[in-house]
Structures are given as C-alpha cells and as structure tokens.
Amino acid sequence: MFTGIVTDIGEVLELEQRGDLRARIGTHYDVAGIEIGASIACDGCCLTVIATGSAPQNWFDVEISAESQAKTNIGGGGNDSSGGWQVGKKINLERALKVGDELGGHIVSGHVDGVAQIEAMVDEGDSTRFTFRVPDGLAKFIAPKGSVALNGTSLTVNEVDGDSFGVNIIPHTKQVTNWGQAKAGDRINLEIDTLARYVARLQEWQA
C-alpha cells in the first residue's frame, strides 16, 4: 500500500525485453535498505524489486508483465512517443507504506485502473490547472473533491464534466515530482479511489 506522496524522482536507465520488460531505474534512495522483493510505486504502478546496485549511481531493477504494460503508460516497451517508458524518462517513486508512517495523501494500492490523457494545462497564479480525459467506464468513480492517484501522486478533484475532470497542481508538487515536465497529450496512470470502487460495487448489488 502507498499514500500517493511521491518521495523521489527516478530515471529509467535501461530497458530490456526478456519476455517481460525489465527496467533499471536510477534513484536517490539508499538501495542498501531496499530488500529484494520490496514493492515500489513507479509512476503509480506497484512493481517488485528484483535487483539493486550502486554503480555508477543507485539503481533497482523491476520486471513488468505484458498485462502491466497494456494497462499503464509503460506500454510500448520504451518506444511510445505518446508516453511509453523510454531511457531517460523521469518517473515518480514511492516506497511502500510502513506501519506508523504519516498518511499524508490517501490509500493507494498501486494497481492502475487505466490511462488518462492530459487534455489541457492552464496556469492559475503559481499553480497549474490540468484537465484529463478518463477512459470509458472510469468516470463514474471520480467525484468533485474526491481523491485520485495520477502517476502515483495523490490529488484532489476540482470538477467533473462527463468523462473529463480537473485538478490543480501547486508549484511544490511540480518541483518534487515529474509533473513539472508534463505536457498536453501525455498519457497518465490513473488509479481511482478505493472507497469509490467499493461504493459503486455495493450499489450494483443493491440495484
């Protein structure tokens, strides 16, 4: 489990297709404290660490299944100019939540529900208002003032209009995440709020 509070900006150092896609991610984390098998959210996608190292910089390796590639913006094996992972791409990182940690965002599972797309970006004061288009079937889970995880970042929904919704991203968030590099057209990993998912499921059973 995660909180949607990004704690490092990683960089994709290597990509290799070995049946599954293997990625090497550069990090500022102390890899001596990362156990093999640990979970790290990478742009909101929970991935399992299979190797670590510290030369020439700290890094960890993950394997990404075809299912994960198809359901997230990782897809394309590093060759997708519309948002797929490629060497040099900056990604948001968060280590798994520990008992006693501060829950500063909201409960995030790291299980991406779909890929949204940035439709527009408009500066409002020092902040930027982003408008996203949501994949079919997910809009009903998104509510004004509710929470969503976008590329692993816990954000509050401003408004919902059909299959689009908006959020504001403040300067601090842009500085400590990869949102400072975002542009219209980018494909973004979307995880809906877990509570919204279960409320909708209960309503289906009651209908």
Q: Encode pLDDT of 64-90 as tens digits.
A: 999 999 999 998 544 444 558 999 999
90 and 121 part of one domain: no
Cβ(59)–Cβ(50) under 8 Å? no
Provide the pLDDT for residue 87. 96
Spacing of C-alpha 98 from chain mean position: 19
89 and 118 part of one domain: no
Task: Indicate the residue among 41, 66, 95 that finishes a domain.
Answer: 95
Helices (H) and strands (E) in the chain, counts: 3, 12
38 and 75 part of one domain: yes
Averaged over 47-57, what is the pLDDT? 96
The answer as to whether 200 is a domain residue is yes
R_g (Cα) of the chain, nearest Å: 17
The answer as to whether 15 is a domain residue is yes
The answer as to whether 151 is a domain residue is yes
The answer as to whether 101 is a domain residue is no
> What's the domain count of the chain?
2
Cβ(49)–Cβ(35) under 8 Å? yes
The answer as to whether 157 is a domain residue is yes
Give percent of the chain with pLDDT exceeding 90. Answer: 78
The answer as to whether 75 is a domain residue is yes
The answer as to whether 177 is a domain residue is yes
17 and 75 part of one domain: yes
Rounded CA separation 59/56 (Å): 9
Higher pLDDT, 194 or 123: 123
The answer as to whether 105 is a domain residue is no
Q: Say whether pLDDT at 137 is over 50.
A: yes
144 and 195 part of one domain: yes
Q: What digits encode the pLDDT tens for the residues 187-206?
A: 999 999 877 776 766 776 77
84 and 120 part of one domain: no
CATH code at position 181: 2.40.30.20
Residue 34 structural domain: 8-95
Among 73, 66, 1, 61, residue whose Cα is nearest residue 31: 61
Cβ(6)–Cβ(29) under 8 Å? no
63 and 135 part of one domain: no
Q: What digits encode the pLDDT tens for the residues 149-168?
A: 999 999 999 999 999 999 99
Task: Indicate the residue among 34, 66, 95 that finishes a domain.
Answer: 95
135 and 176 part of one domain: yes
Task: Indicate the residue among 64, 95, 126 that finishes a domain.
Answer: 95
Averaged over 12-18, what is the pLDDT? 93
Provide the pLDDT for residue 106. 87
